[in-house]
Amino acid sequence: MKKLLLLSLLFSFHAQAQDITGVLGAFPPELVLLQSKMENKQDTVIAQVRFTKGILNGRPVVLAQTGIGKVNAAITTILMIEHFKPREIVFSGIAGGIDPALLPGDIVVGTQITYHDFGAVEDGGMHYWATKNPSTMKENPVTFDCDPALVQKAVSVSNGLALAKINRETGSVAPAVRKGIIVTGDVFVSSGIVTTRLRKELNAAATEMEGAAIAQTCYQQNVPFLIIRSISDNANHKAKDDMMTFYEIAAQNAATLVMAVVGAK
């Protein structure tokens, strides 16, 4: 009986889903390139959130700015799902690099998304909890899997993609695109101690402030999702200065990959 109910719910969503991709970003620089490339734009304001429908890279999309932080991200995501019924949601944005191999301008295609600030702080450190679906009171997974087909699509279209290069001491370097775990919390991480802990405990590649809230919302509503982040800093003591230096290029690289994903068959 439970299996039949689950199948019924899944069928209900897919029957209602529209042939449109939802695209989200947290703040204006993450969306400026995407907005500039959209055609036939039409704005709708719902609960003070502006949604823009149009064509991006030959495909119908609805785009919105979530605002920074988990609550803002969840609100915008559920409004988008409820009113536009996208077949999938893709997030484009910047992040702090946790994997020491990542440098500003590099991209992380999220494979799993999890909170790094949900749980209990104990003498021995952080104990991570699973969230619960308030409708069923069943536990969600501690980590949310990005849609495998979207992950594979992102990796495939990244091959040969013209991404903005970063000027480094060794010269101009083409950004790397890697798959990895992205962690989310309502804090801007600028601590080497914290990054070491997040790498050790969660195997995190990058840290940001919206992804897990979007992932949880999509998971509970049976909407496929993908989080794409480009590195603006290394989440260490230089994070604030580095972010101000690299956020525009990082945002551009993430958006460039998102456009390619949206337009791919």
> How many Cβ atoms from other residues are within 10 Å of residue 230's Cβ?
32
SS3 236: coil
Q: What angle do CA 120, 126, 127 make, to 5 degrees?
A: 60
Whole-number Å distance between alpha carbons of 126 and 118: 9
Residues 66-114 have pLDDT tens digits of: 999 999 999 999 999 999 999 999 999 999 999 999 999 999 999 999 9
Q: How far apart are CA 228 and CA 178, in angstroms?
A: 10
Using CA atoms, how far apart are residues 224 and 20, in angstroms rounded to an integer? Answer: 12
Give all strands (DSSP E) within the chain, no chain letters.
18-25, 39-46, 49-56, 59-65, 86-97, 107-115, 119-122, 125-128, 143-145, 166-168, 171-173, 177-184, 204-208, 225-233
Region 250-262: mean pLDDT is 99
Local structure of 225: helix, strand or coil: strand
Structural domains in the chain, sorted by start: 17-263 (3.40.50.1580)
pTM of structure = 0.92
Average pLDDT, the chain: 94
* Exposure of 261 in the CB half-sphere (CA atoms within 13 A): 31
Q: Report the SS3 class of residue 187.
A: coil
pLDDT for residue 102: 97
Which residues are known to be catalytic? 30, 233
Q: Distance between CA 94 and CA 97 in Å, rounded?
A: 9
What tens digit of pLDDT does each residue of 159-195 get? 999 999 988 776 788 999 999 999 999 999 999 999 9
Question: What average pLDDT does the segment 201-230 reach?
Answer: 99
Structure tokens at 221: 């509503």
Which whole-number Å values give the CA distances from 185 to 124, 139, 156, 215, 238, in the listed order? Answer: 20, 19, 29, 13, 19
